A and B are shown apart, each in its own frame.
Chain A
């Protein structure tokens, strides 16, 4: 036990003597949160819509004025199609082109069908989907109103409709920042814990000081915890700092128990640090470690549900995600912060993470060799 304390003390001395560390711990998370929380958004806030009005009727002008009146749209109208409609999608000056054919109103008045065409820039499929939904809904509503205005007063009584009234639970304002910030916290805490501890171990290999350690009677079961605990503490501190920033700047709610969140994070950190130290035991240089990390971080992070919901991933990807520690933390931190889930709700994740932690740490201790 005393040996572990001696190592912890030495690590803390070195960490805080390193000039890069304090900025790393405080400035990096601040900047990341400020930038990523705003930037990493899927929301569509402004649609540049080019309307080709070849009808120029009261119907089409009514639709245009309806669209122009909405905050979502920035509408530009041209009377005829041709090259302009094409190029405006190509040069990104429009997100969508709505074309109203000639005789649209006349056909409708004669109770015939007519159709308008909506072409979208679908390079970003998700955004195109949203534009389609939103625009179709707007046009339909306009059309219904228009139909109703044509009908005799009581004829409309037969047209009963069902209305769906949405209530958005847990995030009623549909605030994307509240969804993103916990995700950014996952990245920060993971980097602090997993990356710093692993880099630290490999650095000792590069400097040669590890040889001096290996020739002492120090035991692996003391050495690995001694290397791990300082960064475990730093990472938990990072979580506190991040939560405070999140609350101060974005009013991210803490609906669940903080104790539960820190409890889960502690176990999670042991798991990812175990993986980190295992990778460090495999690498000889910081460069090798960086490449392995790059691979792990990128794969696991993008699969973790940071941007895209895990539930909509293919089944095989969801199966792989059972091995992805980031995915567990990503889910749990959002559950606790945004939904106020309790211990019973996250019990399966807690159990999985505990098994993961034991396995990863065992692997790290086992792989660490006191021989060359």
Chain B
């Protein structure tokens, strides 16, 4: 990790995502509690938090999979409630549940998803070829996804998510369940993509991954308990590691929580 990798979005003030008082309630349970923030164009924006903190719910609302109960969210210039399909056209999405078709080959998955996004046949063939080349997977192009190791599958899933050049990509816990080396490789891929100008919003519960992000939002029980660059947050809360930062923020947040025992 060097300084060059960071500050990618630094200085760019164009908002790709704008969220105002966004709330999602499931019955009496509030999963996301009136949060507001912006994401700048070209930055790697991390959403951190324990399981159940509301990360996935938030990302699903932003990608048009879930209707917010209250509040406004504009993604890539479109309102997620009124124009969810336009939002979907402008984003890439990779879920925590690995979701390429296992019984199709790499090439068939590329053709299917590219086609669904309305890519022209010629463009799709070119983009697919470039993608395979970049991944160095020429030899497995015609193999079923099911036969590939998890780390490969994830890199393919990510590449397919950005195949239609969406400009904004949501990654929902993309690295859960893979070994540290593969995680590292995956992050290098994310950062490289960000350098190409993509904006990336990624959720994770690995604290060490926060350091790859330009800015992070730490979520706790549906709230954003802290939002800034990892360094600024560390000095603001006077801690020396992400681990400590996380502990401190979530614990402080808990004591001020109005609803105990939830």
Contact = CB atoms under 8 A, between A and B. Distances in A.
B60 A217 contact: no
Nearest to B109: A10
A209 B116 contact: no
B112 A10 contact: yes
A148 to B, nearest CB: 78
A208 to B, nearest CB: 4
Contact of A3 (B95, B102, B111, B115): B115
Contact of A217 (B102, B103, B108, B118): B118
Give the interface size class of chain A: 20 to 34
B24 to A, nearest CB: 11
Interface stretch (B9-17, B30-38, B86-94, B133-141): B86-94
B100 interface: yes
B99 A207 contact: yes
A218 B98 CA distance: 19
Given A215-B93, A217-B85, A218-B116, A208 B65 contact: no
A9 B67 CA distance: 31
Interface stretch (A13-21, A254-262, A301-309): A13-21
A207 B103 CA distance: 12
Interface in A162-212: 207-209, 211-212
A215 B63 contact: yes
Interface of A: 2-3, 6-7, 9-10, 13-14, 17-18, 207-209, 211-219, 370-372
Contacts of A372: 60, 65-66
B99 A216 contact: no
Given A211-B95, A219-B85, 5 more contacts: A208-B97, A209-B101, A216-B116, A217-B89, A217-B117
Interface residues of B, number: 30
B118 A212 contact: no
A128 to B, nearest CB: 54
B64 interface: yes
Given A217-B88, A371-B64, A208 B116 contact: no
Contact of A212 (B99, B103, B108): B99
A299 to B, nearest CB: 34
Contacts of A13: 104, 108
B113 interface: yes
B175 to A, nearest CB: 17
Interface of B: 60, 63-67, 84-86, 88-89, 91, 93, 95, 97-104, 108, 111-113, 115-118
B66 A371 contact: yes
Given A6-B112, A14-B103, A215 B97 contact: no
Contacts of B108: 10, 13
B66 A17 contact: no
A2 B108 CA distance: 16
Contacts of B100: 209, 212
A10 B99 contact: no
Nearest to A215: B93
A321 to B, nearest CB: 40
Contacts of B116: 3, 6-7, 213, 216-218
B117 A208 contact: no
Nearest to B172: A211
Q: Which of A7, A18, A371 has the most CB of B within 10 A?
A: A371
A214 to B, nearest CB: 6
Contact of A209 (B67, B99, B115, B118): B99
12 contacts: A3-B115, A10-B112, A17-B103, A18-B103, A208-B99, A209-B100, A212-B113, A215-B95, A217-B86, A370-B64, A370-B65, A371-B84
4 A-B pairs with the lowest CB-CB distances in the bound complex, closest first: A208-B97, A6-B115, A212-B99, A215-B93
A18 B103 CA distance: 8
B182 to A, nearest CB: 20
A18 B112 CA distance: 18
